[in-house]
Amino acid sequence: MLFLTLNGLDYMVSEGNSIFCSRQGKSDINVYVRGSWGGLYGEGKRRGYYRTIRICDAQTGEVIRDYESVPKEVQDEVSRLICAFVAI
């Protein structure tokens, strides 16, 4: 997991198995934003409720689901992670 803070908002980026039935055996990169509702993640000062704002294919970077806008700086980090994941 990667945590980023941008303009006062906390973001979390993680890679894991896809939750979609049509993508069995594939990996996705999920982008979350911290807010007043969502799943409880993180530790220490990063602990809080995070909701999914984007899901991307970990191999190609293709956006699978886009629920909210994602700042360019966070998109750049996601692209960097995809490049690192593909290189493995």
Write down the pLDDT at residue 7: 87
User: In the chain, pLDDT over 90 holds for what percent of residues?
Assistant: 39
Cβ contact 33:8 at 8 Å = no
The token pair at 70 is 């994602």
* Distance, CA of 25 to CA of 45 (rounded, Å): 33
Give the pLDDT confidence of 34-74 residue by residue, as tens digits.
998 888 887 888 888 999 999 999 888 899 999 998 999 88
* Distance, CA of 50 to CA of 41 (rounded, Å): 7
Cβ contact 74:13 at 8 Å = yes
Three-state secondary-structure class, residue 80: helix
**Which band of pLDDT confidence, cut at 50, 70 and 90, is reported for residue 88?**
low
Write down the pLDDT at residue 87: 62
Write down the pLDDT at residue 32: 93
Give the angle subtended at the CA of 63 by the CAs of 57 and 66, to the nearest 5°. 130
